Structure formats: C-alpha cells, structure tokens
Structure 1
Amino acid sequence: MFSREGTVPPLKHCLRGRRLVLVDIENVVGGAVLHENAARWARTQICKVLNIGAADHVVIGISHIGLLPVGSTWTNPRYLVGSGPDGADRALLAVLDEDVENRFDEIVLVSGDGIFTDKIAAIAALGVRITVVAHPGGLARRLRMAAHQTIYLSDYYNDGTLCGAA
C-alpha cells in the first residue's frame, strides 16, 4: 500500500521525533461528517495505517456541522472549524504556516486534495518528511508526487458499504 514516485529532496537530520498529523476528516469520509459512525470509521481507518503516539500533534479540520460527531469519537486533537467551500482545508493550510518545518520531523496529511500541494512541496523541499494518507481514487497526482510516502485508505465502511454513498 506504499508508493513512491518522483524525485524528492533528502531528508534533514532531526532528533526531535515529533510528527504533525493533519486530518481533513471530510475528505476521509467523502463529505460532511453527520453521524458518529462516520467519524468513528474515519478514526479507525486512520489508526489502522498510522501508529499515532503521544508525541504526535493531531489536528482535525472540520466544518461546524461535523464538530459534535467528531468530537464525541476522537478525543485530544486540536480541532479547526472552517465552514463553506474548502473551509476545513483552508484552516489546515494555515497550520502549515506555523513554523512546522522547525517544530516537526514529519508531517502526515490525511487528505488527497490538491489544494495542499504547493505548501506540502515547499515544506518537503526544506527537508521535512511528508506522508500523504488518502483514498486511492481521491488523491491528486501532484500531491502524491510532492510526498515522500503515500498510504492508501480503505474505501469502505466496516459494514461493507461504500464510503460517501447515499
């Protein structure tokens, strides 16, 4: 489930061991998070592929509609509420302007949205390891190429139904 494409710069030598995990949860579930079962499924999928530890800083971008379902199933992250078109994406992009290249050894972006490509590529060029976690059919090609590592999520809920299907 790992792929590596393109040429990426060498990683800088770091001893901090800190990782920033940015989660575009609406991208994971395929739309607004209206119910706890969707939020729980997203958390399960993310935890399947990422070994989130105590030193990791988790930030979840969400619209105001999904804050309660997400907050009731995922405790201890930093929540960023952004509504409207690309609201959660823009809130997560702002985090990437918080001197992350000097505070974290790795950035994990849980989203396939191309809006993140330029910022992720710029941070990767500074030597910070970039991992993108996304659905296989929902990952922007340029974003995949900007990352050092790509991890794919399952496209299905635990009951076998397609994520995002009505």
Structure 2
Amino acid sequence: MNSTGERSLHLIDIENLTGSPSPSREGVRWYQLAYEALHIGPVDQVVVACSHRAAPNVRFGWQGGRHLWRSGKNGADLALLAVIEKERVAECFNSVILASGDGIFADAIARLGEQEVDVTVVSRPESLSRSLRMAASHHILFPYPPIELDMLGTPA
C-alpha cells in the first residue's frame, strides 16, 4: 500500500497531459517519469488513454499500466469516463487522480466527490478547465518537458 494505506486510481489522458494529439514516444516517457514523481503506490492502478493514432508511441512510451485506445472526438476522454462510470470506482478506490484538464470530466468527478472519493486533477496550467478545477478536491499544475523533447514532437 502507499504511505497512507489507501488505494488510488490514476486516470491519464496522455494527449491532454502532453498537449499533443500525437506525442512522441520520448515525450510520453518523460511525462510518465514526471508523473510517477507524484507517487504511485504499489497497489494503485494506472489507466492511460489515447486515440488509436497515438497508441504506438503511448504504448511503448508509457511502460506498465492499463492502456485504452478510442478513436473519434474526445476518444481518450470517453474511454476514461467509461472506467469511472462502469467499474465501481467509488467502491474500489479511496482516491482518483485524473491527469487531464478537460471539462468533460467535471460531472463525473463531482459525482465521485459526492461518494467521498478524494479527487485530484493533474493538468497543464493552460488546459485546466474552470469546471473541472471546481469539481475536484485538489489540483496540481504539471511541468513542461525539457527543450530537447520539444524538438522530438512534444510541444511545450
């Protein structure tokens, strides 16, 4: 268990976190290492979602965890929302950490809060929607990758 004895679910919208619909493998790896600095406990679950176009770089860039692919508008968002809505998250986890700034998650995050799940949103500053920030218990603004990664296809 992690240091507080709780079990957390980490939901990662990697395209939103990197700020790119086509993040590079190196960029995805950098974001995984930076995200893991937030502390992922040994019994925590990690779910990483993206579109089918980003899937190869995400699959090989983000090592471990469960990977979901969904195409179309808001594909990654809808895949993560399906986890929240269909997998009894409030019964199985003490906390949820959502790595996305998209407002589409606000209602689902608010419902988790009503079920006494502690929710933290991790987002780049410019992509954190007001409604999601208000729905979550906490938010963490995420860093940008080093300039070398910017040249490899991950925008700053």
Aligned sequence identity (%): 40
2:130 equivalent in structure 1: 141
Structure 1 residue 87 displacement after superposition: 0.5
| Structure that is richer in helix per residue | 2
1:37 is aligned to 26
CA contact (8 A) 2:14 2:48 kept: yes
C-alpha distance in 2 between matches for 1:137 and 1:149 = 17
Query: Aligned to 2:47, which of 59, 73, 80?
Result: 59
In structure 1, list runs of 5 or more residues that go unmatched: 1-14
Deviation digits for residues 39-95 of structure 1 (CA, Å, limit 9, x no counterpart): 1122123123x2012111000111111222122122221111011110110000000
Cross-structure match for 1:115: 104
CA-atom RMSD, angstroms?
1.8
Stretches of structure 2 lacking an aligned partner (at least 5 in a row):
none
**Between Structure 1 and Structure 2, how many residues are aligned?**
149
3-state SS of the aligned residue for 1:53?
A: coil
The TM-score, its normalising length taken from structure 1, stands at: 0.83
Residue 42 of structure 2 aligns to a residue in which SS?
coil
Runs of 4+ more than 6 Å apart: none
Q: Tell me by how many angstroms 1:127 deviates.
A: 0.5
The Cα offsets for residues 7-53 of structure 1, whole Å up to 9 and x where unpaired, read as xxxxxxxx9621000000000111223421121122123123x2012
